[in-house]
Amino acid sequence: MAEERLVDPQFKYRVASRTGGEGLLVCFSCGVCTAGCPVAEIEGNFNPRRIIHQVLLGEKESVLTSKYLWMCVGCYRCTAHCPQDVEFTNILKVLREMAVEEGYVSKEWQEIVEDLDRRTQKLRRDCLNYLFENALFSFPQYLDFYQREIEKLSFSGGGRDNER
Ligand code: SF4
Ligand code: SF4
């Protein structure tokens, strides 16, 4: 692979020229996206405003090799609240596509993340169903249930029959 420059001045234009990336150039770094992001709330290093800033600065490698590219859960809250109508959720999808296309991560990695998202949603659905069907409407009951489920969690066992 040819040696990459650390800063790519064309990077932002390439992102902005793709479907979903169009609004990138009008971001004025207000930080509203980060302030309302549920992932940023639990992971202080995930920062949508900073990711956009890095793209605008041309920090292609740093952005496309970052694990934070994969932390977004696609809730679109940032997009809904952005005063400049920047669609950060879609910009992140563009960046993920570019990371795969340019060989920074494998297609398999992308599929693993998508599978993780499906499993997370399934876990949430199952927990909600259980809590509702068993009328566990108080917080202590919920905590007991949650503790039991955490103890049962294992990535080494379990069939694939229950995955969908
Ligand atoms: S809310 Fe919009 S304008 Fe403000 S930093 Fe985020 S993307 Fe940029
Ligand atoms: S779409 Fe992603 S970046 Fe935007 S608020 Fe939701 S989790 Fe955060």
Backbone angles phi, psi at 141, to 5 degrees: -65, -40
Query: In this structure, are residues 51 and 68 in contact, taking their beta carbons and an 8 Å threshold?
Result: yes
Q: How far is CA 16 from CA 9, 75, 107, 128, in A?
A: 13, 21, 22, 39
Distance CA 146, CA 150 (A): 6
> Residue 2 — pLDDT band, cuts 50, 70, 90?
very low
In our burial notation (b when 16+ CB lie closer than 10 A, e otherwise), range 1-34 reads: eeeeeeebeebbeebbebebbbbbeebeeeebbb
Nearest CA to ligand 2 atom 2: 72
pLDDT for 155: 56
Residue with tokens 């992932």: 39
User: Is 63 close to ligand 1, i.e. is its CB under 6 Å away?
Assistant: no
User: pLDDT of 105-137, one tens digit each?
Assistant: 999 999 999 999 999 999 899 999 999 999 998
The domain spans of the chain are 11-101, 107-152
Q: Which CATH superfamily is domain 11-101 in?
A: Alpha-helical ferredoxin (1.10.1060.10)
Distance CA 55, CA 62 (A): 9
Nearest CA to ligand 2 atom 8: 37
User: pLDDT of 79-107, one tens digit each?
Assistant: 999 999 999 999 999 999 999 999 999 99
Taking 60 as the threshold, does the pLDDT of residue 164 lie above it?
no
pLDDT for 152: 80
User: Is 72 close to ligand 2, i.e. is its CB under 6 Å away?
Assistant: yes
pLDDT for 5: 56
User: Is 74 close to ligand 2, i.e. is its CB under 6 Å away?
Assistant: yes
pLDDT for 151: 85
pTM, whole model, 2 decimals?
0.86
pLDDT for 1: 46
